[in-house]
Amino acid sequence: MSAAEGPLVVGVDTSTQSTKVLVVDAATGAVVASGQAPHTVSSGAGRESDPRQWWDALREALHQCGDAAREAAAVSIGGQQHGLVTLDERGEPVRPALLWNDVRSAPQAHRLTEELGGAKFWAERTGSVPAASFTVTKWAWLAENEPEALRATKAVRLPHDYLTERLTGEGTTDRGDASGTGWWASGTEAYDEEILAHVGLDPALLPRVVRPGEVAGTVRDSHDLPFAKGTLVAPGTGDNAAAALGLGLRPGTPVLSLGTSGTVYAVAKRRPTDPTGTVAGFADAHGDWLPLACTLNCTLAVDRVAALLGRDREAVEPTAHLTLLPYLDGERTPNLPNASGVLHGLRHDTTAGQLLQAAYDGAVHSLLGALDLVLDEDADRSAPLLLIGGGARGTAWQQTVRRLSGRPVQVPEAKELVALGAAAQAAGLLTGEDPAAVARRWNTARGPVLDAVERDEATLTRIAGVLSDASPLLERSTNAH
């Protein structure tokens, strides 16, 4: 490890599939050490993980960082949003965490929306219309299906809250992650007593919401991690809010994130309230807002199609007739939680490469359709799309986004933006800076800009037509569950 110019900070990304750790020089943004360890996600009726393995993965990832982690002056944890972590009186998990992509609570999402004033009520009160991803719907599902687990629950946390609490011994969260629960009111920035009462959740079971720039706590000594006792712990936040910090986003700059899920978002000054539910009106981690649209099927779905075809994920061929709606895990945008994939236009002369390209086209289509709703009227519609996430460096992903958006695309060179954003938040505790300003000082968004190409209107029109024609079938599939 080379000598650091400033104090060291640790940023953590505890995602669906793994925990990643970066040790960063707070002065320069240089990554001096990194580590990563996997998680296990159930593949049965739902998507679940034992939270204790997140801690084990954090410990392993930090161990890979060697002595650098021991020198850290502050740490922050970014984590997958929406997951329901239920703890008993000893702080142990009552059951495996229900993850964001567990869609078993779709009936509860529909019922809650109808019971409490409809979509407009939820959008105005919480900023979002509850979908099966949201924590409040998972709590309602648990109440109906596992009442014994509900009775045993003495604390309710989100994934990043769980790890932060194990570090500090104090139950805390932040406004960014709290805004994805469905029980945090975005207008008052407080837990919503009416919603909590309706779903039977005692607010005493919830963590304290730490304000941006506050210290969430300090590392206690009863742990097996390399941090010194008293190390500062930042509030942490949800993964998308952390990535926004990691990019140093200014209002109006659009981001398209290609990961297990796909997301489109931008920082906004105005509080979002979309009654259609397409845009989730999340808070960001430093006082503004983060309107966001999300799809469940992105890189994982395309990789699955590539695997079924026995092809490399880059082995695509142009297609003018084939459409694939890759809703392999149900879908959130459009809101079809129990849908499956739809293939249209298959012919004798269709090639495997064309089928794979159709999967890319279908995955990108929904995200771009939501982009105009995410951006407010003041946004520059010709500005480059910031392309991030695991798929961002893939040539097929880049070319598909350019062709279907008609916009220039910038691919930041920085990797692990969620962990970098968490590190910027930790650095802000030490310097007193806005974490986004820290990231801009680190120049994290630096990267090549790919010029705009003519937008492929024919493909966009074809996909929209197939989606419209298939909607009755997809709706019946959803209602049948």
Place of tokens 């699955």: 304
Q: What's the rounded Cα separation, in Å, for the pair 156 and 422? A: 22
Q: What's the rounded Cα separation, in Å, for the pair 27 and 5? A: 6
Q: Of how many residues is the chain composed?
A: 481
Q: Which of 13, 65, 54 is nearest to 420 (CA)?
A: 13
Identity of the residue numbered 335: N
User: Do residues 385 and 255 touch, judged by C-beta distance below 8 A?
Assistant: yes
Q: Count the helices and strands in the chain (H runs, E runs).
A: 16, 24
- Produce one character per residue of 399-422: b if its CB has 16 or more CB atoms within 10 Å, e if not: bbbbbbbebebbbbebbbbbbbbb
Q: What's the rounded Cα separation, in Å, for the pair 38 and 18? A: 4
Identity of the residue numbered 216: A
Q: What's the rounded Cα separation, in Å, for the pair 176 and 158? A: 11
Strands 208-210 and 172-174 turn out to be parallel
To the query of whether residue 239 is one of the catalytic residues in this protein, the response is yes
User: Phi and psi dihedrals of 228, rounded to 5?
Assistant: -75, 145
Q: Is 200 exposed, middle or buried (0-12, 13-18, 19+ CB in 10 A)?
A: exposed
Q: What's the rounded Cα separation, in Å, for the pair 297 and 329? A: 7
Q: What's the rounded Cα separation, in Å, for the pair 446 and 449? A: 9
User: Do residues 359 and 324 touch, judged by C-beta distance below 8 A?
Assistant: yes
With the CA atoms of 434, 439, 442 and 447 taken in that order, what torsion angle do they form, in degrees rounded to the nearest 10?
-150
Identity of the residue numbered 313: R
- Rg of the chain, C-alpha, whole Å: 21
Q: Which of 268, 296, 295, 303 is nearest to 282 (CA)?
A: 268
Instruction: At 217, list the tokens.
Output: 């706590």
At 262, is the secondary structure helix, strand, or coil? strand
Tell me which of 13, 102, 161, 239 is the catalytic residue: 239
What angle do helix axes 352-374 and 395-405 make, rounded to 10 degrees? 50
User: Do residues 401 and 364 touch, judged by C-beta distance below 8 A?
Assistant: yes
Instruction: List Cα–Cα distances, 17 to 73, 238, 260, 347, 448, in angstroms.
Output: 27, 15, 9, 36, 28
User: Do residues 213 and 428 touch, judged by C-beta distance below 8 A?
Assistant: yes
- Catalytic residues, by residue number, are 239
